[in-house]
Amino acid sequence: MNQATADRTEIAVVGSGPSGMIAALLLSRRGFSTVLVGPRAKADPRTTALLDASVAILGDLGIWEDIAPLAAPLRQMRLIDDTGRLVRAPETLFDSAEIDLDAFGYNVLNNDLNSVLEKALAASSVTRIEALADAIRPGDDGVEIDIEGRATPLRVQLLVASDGRSSRARDAAGIAVQRWSYPQSALVANLSHQRPHDDTSTEFHTPHGPFTLVPLKGNRSSLVWVGEPKEIVAMQALDDAAFAREVERHAKSILGPMTLESGRQVFPLSGMKAKTVAANRIALVGETAHVFPPIGAQGLNLSLRDVADLGDACERARSNGQDIGGGAALSAYAAARRGDIDTRIFGVDTLNRTLLADFLPIQMVRGLGLYLAGRVGPLRRLLMREGVAPSFRGRARSA
């Protein structure tokens, strides 16, 4: 590597979506000189349910207090079997008070979340480069990054790759991925409604996927409607008023008449997992490492735990006098993330596939599982706690 290109930056975070912005904030807060490379976030009408463990991470960063006034609490989650099948699960209600939480999490517009993160970055010591990373060359003692519009490459000890599902940085690290798809699409939109949601998220389980209404501030909810692609295309084609009536009909009018507030977006359902989250001085976080279907609000919540574990691994390396981009630090990070990522991917995949399965025994097992969750307190509380964050991770971090 050319020493003339060297500078003192320890970490470059490549990719400035929510995962990258949060990674840059956390790593700079822990005392690492950090550059964030990537364009500013585009307008994004989607919403994100940030679960309790994410709220704690954002709280430690001093950001949660700016997000909280913009977010709606999710105090209860109601599951309704709307499959119309022979074996149907009873309605199940999960209440956050049962596990001593004020709320499972909080739902916020991505535009609001991104604005708060941009503001926090502007007030932080993170150096911002609003350009795309081009060629990336990992070497024995550092990583060189060519950046569009800059004559000299950036040279850092560790590159944090948060440049999304088609990541260039992941390719540069030589990390392969496994991809899969589902025979479903998700339609997302935000609606206002006449009746209050009472801080309750309601999930109708249909034979083609979950139809979920998640509270927003006021009498408003975000919709994630997972269904067969042809059904979703038909819904996308309706005019706004007809679409709002269809949503009300599918929601059994529990929230009363509805009005569409945002545009509608459609996402084909797919999944992706990187074979490892770290190699060759490059650590993956967020959708660079794992892509989920939008079921169970897991994607960005898992990304925040990636970022927290990466911060821990870097801090441990520094206090042991080790290289933060070296093999020991990256192995520690990869080991910390493996169980969390694998169990979340398995959980979301199983939930979705058991819903799609027409096979009667599978429907019976699913129905029995929900019946037991509704009736057996300790099981219900275990499911709620594990849904918010995996308990084994908390034990590992405090060890």
Applying CB under 6 A, the residues found at the interface with ligand FAD are 14-20, 37-39, 41, 46, 48-49, 132-133, 162-164, 168, 186, 188, 224, 267, 286-287, 294, 297-301, 303
Closest Cα partner for 270 from 357, 344, 182, 352?
A: 182
Q: Which is nearer to ligand FAD, 121 or 317 (CB)?
A: 121
Give which of 98, 25, 20 is closest to 57, Cα–Cα: 25
* Shortest CB 380 distance to ligand FAD, Å: 22
**Would you state the structure tokens that stand for residue 376, as one six-digit string?**
């057996």
**229 or 326: CB nearest ligand FAD:** 229
In this complex, which beta carbon is closest to ligand FAD, that of residue 9 or of residue 322? Answer: 9
Q: How far is the CB of 146 from ligand FAD (least distance, A)?
A: 10
Q: Are 216 and 72 in contact (CB under 8 A)?
A: yes
By C-beta, is 15 or 142 nearer to ligand FAD? Answer: 15
CB of 370 vs ligand FAD, minimal distance in Å? 21
Tell me the closest approach of the beta carbon of residue 147 to ligand FAD, in angstroms.
Answer: 8
Closest separation in Å from C-beta 306 to ligand FAD: 9
In the complex, the smallest distance separating the C-beta of residue 145 from ligand FAD, rounded to whole angstroms, is: 9
Length of the chain: 399
CA angle 284, 126, 297 (to 5 degrees): 45
- Closer Cβ to ligand FAD, 294 or 325, answer by number: 294
Give the nearest distance from C-beta 294 to ligand FAD in angstroms. Answer: 3
Q: How far apart are CA 294 and CA 287, in angstroms?
A: 12
Shortest Cβ 167–ligand FAD spacing (Å): 7
- d(CA 106, CA 71) in angstroms, rounded, equals 6
Query: Closest Cα to residue 48, out of 276, 289, 290, 215?
Result: 215
Q: How far is the CB of 365 from ligand FAD (least distance, A)?
A: 27
Provide the residue type at 234 as one letter. Answer: A
Residue number with CB closer to ligand FAD (68 or 267): 267
Instruction: Name the residue nearer to ligand FAD (CB basis): 190 or 276.
Output: 190
Q: At what angle do helices 52-60 and 18-29 cross, to 10 degrees?
A: 50
Which class for 326: exposed (0-12), middle (13-18), buried (19 or more C-beta within 10 A)?
middle
Closer residue to ligand FAD, CB minimum distance, 191 or 300: 300
Query: Largest Cα–Cα distance in the chain?
Result: 71
- Compute the distance between CA of residue 158 and CA of residue 141 in angstroms, rounded to an integer: 10
Ramachandran class of 64: left when φ > 0, alpha when ψ lies in -120 to 50, beta otherwise: alpha
Please give the full DSSP string across 316-371, using - where no structure is assigned: HHHHTT--TTSHHHHHHHHHHHHHHHHHHHHHHHHHHHHHH---HHHHHHHHHHHH
Q: Which residue of the chain is nearest ligand FAD when measured via CB? A: 17
Pick 270 or 354: Cβ nearer ligand FAD: 270
Q: Which two tokens stand for residue 12?
A: 């470059």
Minimal distance, residue 37 CB to ligand FAD, in Å:
5
Cα–Cα dist 348/292, whole Å: 8
Cβ-based nearer residue to ligand FAD, 41 or 336:
41
